[in-house]
Every structure is written in C-alpha cells, then in structure tokens.
Chain A
C-alpha cells in the first residue's frame, strides 16, 4: 500500500544518544550526548524514559512551540507495553497513539502522523521513538551484567531517543510518499542474525514502493534501510539484484552507519532498535537534506517482530519494513 502526500512537511528534529553512539561517526549530528548509560536514573527503564523526555524538551525548544500546540504524539519503543514511550510522553501531549513494529516503529509512526496531517485531520504531530541497549538486553536476552558471548551476526541495540515534528506548514523538506509493508515469514529463527531475518521484508517493501510509484532506484539520491547490519545489507543488495534485477547504487544501512564497526567491536554487525533508523534519519539524513546534499531519499525502517516466547515455542521470527520518501522542496 503506497500513499502520496501533498501537504506534509518536516519542521525540525531532535536526538539524544548514549555513550556508544557518541563514539560513532555521526556524533556531530546529535543534539545531546551522554557518557553514562544510566543518565542519572536508577534503572534502565527509567533511564530510557528520561531520554524520551529530554528529547521532547529539546525539540519543543528548537521549534519554540508550547506542548499544548502539539496535536498528537505518535511513538513507541521496544519495552513491554511500550512503557518508555508512554511514561515519557505523558506530560507532553493532548493525544497519543502508541505504535509497535519493533525496529520499524520510527517509520510506521511517521506514516500514521503524515497520513493524519495530509487528510487535514490534524495540523501537526510529533513522532517519538526510543530504545536503550541495556533495557532491551534485559527484556529480550540475559541480565545485562551476564554478558553471554554473541556471534558476529548479532546486532547491538542503540541507546537514544529521536523525535521529529511533522506539520502542514511549508518548510524546506517534505514527506513525499510512503509504503506500508506486510509481515514476512522467510522461515528464519536465529535471534542472533536479525539482518538475515529482516532483509526479505526490506526487499519486499522497496520492490513494492518502486513498483507502485513506477520509479527506478536511481530516482533516489540515497536509499537507507533501518538496521540490517553489515551482513543483512549485503544479503539485501545481492538478493535484489539476482532475484528482481534491481540494482541499488546509492544504498546504505543505518545500523552500519551509526557505529565505527572497525573500532567498536562490541557493536558486532551494527546497530539496531527503533531509534537506530531514527538517529540516522532524524540526525544525519535530516541535516544533509537541509544542506541539500541529498534531494530525494527513501528511508526503509526494518523491524524483526521477535518474541523470545514464540522462538522458544519453535515459531519463526517474522519481519516487516515500512518506507517513507523525503524530498527537498
């Protein structure tokens, strides 16, 4: 399903990150960085809530808007009951929609917000996503201090929060179109190789987006996937080329870009988490669009719909990808 938008613009973005992202190559694009993963709080969950609040404060300050002037906040995170988001945005919104497609939450939320703005139901909306390496480890894997060995294909959940204000008032960058993906099952079941799980979803969505709008990949100055990591990225390029003869010339993956994988060995195959695509998208991409380095970009956030319970019950891991196209006006 692909929509075109006439009247949705990006007003501004804000990003807050933790120490691992700070050491990464995109440091200069973040609004605030921290050296400690607790952010002055007593638990990982509370630390993530603080990230969300901090990020919203920075965004509202940047756009000089009062929180009462924001019509809607759409967002989510990785925690059970998307609690980091609900506890974080509570005091900031008149109305709220919680979303979850794991690491694809950022673009899913942008699609919902853009569709509501374009249909003139609301004037503006904030999209907010977050993730925290430690709270995600605790929930999906082992206690954080346990530190069980992981294979090279495993990805590293990013710590941070990203927000973007979408509006119907004209700015330099607009949301041009979006494609909603479907749930894909390629019978994958290795939670330590999410790139391999999610690549088919990204392939399906990119293919559908290009077909629906009758576009060639060269239409875009850059196509970015969410968090496939170094191995998933190669799988995607190879499979698209061999199976569908689609050749991506300017393509990259947010998970690969966010860390210096040569130096930051602990990050293994790359970054992941809903905030991974948001940090690269709202930080790096937005700023480069503003500078007109890129004019047309496609952001494809990929999500592994991974439930540890379902995997223990011998079910496959499903995946999904949503795409959004941003253009310089």
Chain B
C-alpha cells in the first residue's frame, strides 16, 4: 500500500502541465502539416500529368524526405519540443523516429546498430498499424464494402 501521508505531500509539489495549450498547439501544427500535404498534392496535379492517387504517394515521400533531412541536420527535435505531438503524429514523426534511431546507432555498425535498432520506436506503429488495418478491413467487408 502506498504511504498516503507521503503521497499527499508529494502531490502538493506536482506542477500542472499546460495540457490544453499543448493540445491546441498540436492540433494547429498537425493541421498545418496536413494542409502542406494537400497543397503538395494540388501542385503536383496542377503542374504534371500524375494522377491524384500517385500524387499522394509523392507527397508522402516529399514530407518524409523533409522530416528526415531536418532530423539529420539536428533541428527536428527542437521543433518537437515546441510543437509536441502535432509534429510527431503525422508521417513526419514516423520518418523522424526512424532517422533518429538510425543516427543514434550508426556507430554500432550496419547490422547490430542501424539494422537492429531502426524500428526501435517505429516498430510499434508498424505492428499495430497492420493489426488494426486487418481488423478494420474485416469490419468494412462485413458492412458490405470491399
């Protein structure tokens, strides 16, 4: 059982996190990233003959490239501190998690370093992304759509 007297005193010195502010900042920043993505698709569609579906793939590649480059140049982590999950949840955060792991373990070699560790953070996203996609596709099938 927890020492209740200690818990009461310790709780007195627990600072409040600015949760609402963080949520609003994340919402806006995440939205802006979505907007940039949409703008890239529009630009590709407007200036080339690439179809909309293909254009969204190019957009993802462009965002991943920009995110990975800024991780490598060392300022993505500073943006994370500022914009919190707004920048971590979109595809930019996924790219960042892999690039940062690769950078961190590059000194330990290609196999045991980069190879073993690159999915250290992204592994959960991939695994549970696939699992949830599987279940959602079953639901969709049962509802009559393929």
> Which residues of A line the B interface, CB within 8 A?
42-43, 138, 142-149, 151-153, 186-187, 193, 196, 199-200, 231-232, 234-235, 238-239, 242-243, 266
B80 x A148 contact (CB < 8 A): yes
B49: interface (CB < 8 Å)? no
Across-interface contacts of A148 in B (CB, < 8 A) = 80, 88
CA distance A43 to B107 in the complex (A): 7
Most buried by B among A145, A153, A193: A145
> Which residue from chain A places its CB closest to the CB of B80 in the assembled complex?
A147
* A200/B107 contact (C-beta < 8 A), A143-B121, A149-B80 known: no
A sample of 8 inter-chain contacts (CB < 8 A) reads: A143-B105, A143-B121, A145-B96, A148-B80, A151-B17, A186-B6, A196-B14, A239-B5
Across-interface contacts of A200 in B (CB, < 8 A) = 3, 6
> Which residues of B line the A interface, CB within 8 A?
1-3, 5-6, 9-10, 12-15, 17, 22, 71, 74, 76-78, 80-81, 84-85, 88, 96-97, 99-101, 103-105, 107, 120-121
Number of A-B contacts (CB under 8 A): 84
* A153/B100 contact (C-beta < 8 A), A187-B2, A242-B9 known: no
> Which residue from chain B places its CB closest to the CB of A266 in the assembled complex?
B81
CA distance A242 to B10 in the complex (A): 12
B2 x A144 contact (CB < 8 A): no
Across-interface contacts of A239 in B (CB, < 8 A) = 5-6, 9-10
Across-interface contacts of B103 in A (CB, < 8 A) = 143, 145
A37 CB to closest chain B CB (Å) equals: 11
> Which residue from chain B places its CB closest to the CB of A238 in the assembled complex?
B9
Across-interface contacts of B80 in A (CB, < 8 A) = 146-149
* New A-B contacts (16) at CB < 8 Å, excluding given A143-B101, A199-B10: A143-B104, A145-B96, A145-B100, A146-B77, A146-B80, A146-B100, A146-B101, A151-B15, A152-B15, A153-B15, A186-B2, A186-B6, A234-B12, A235-B10, A238-B12, A243-B5
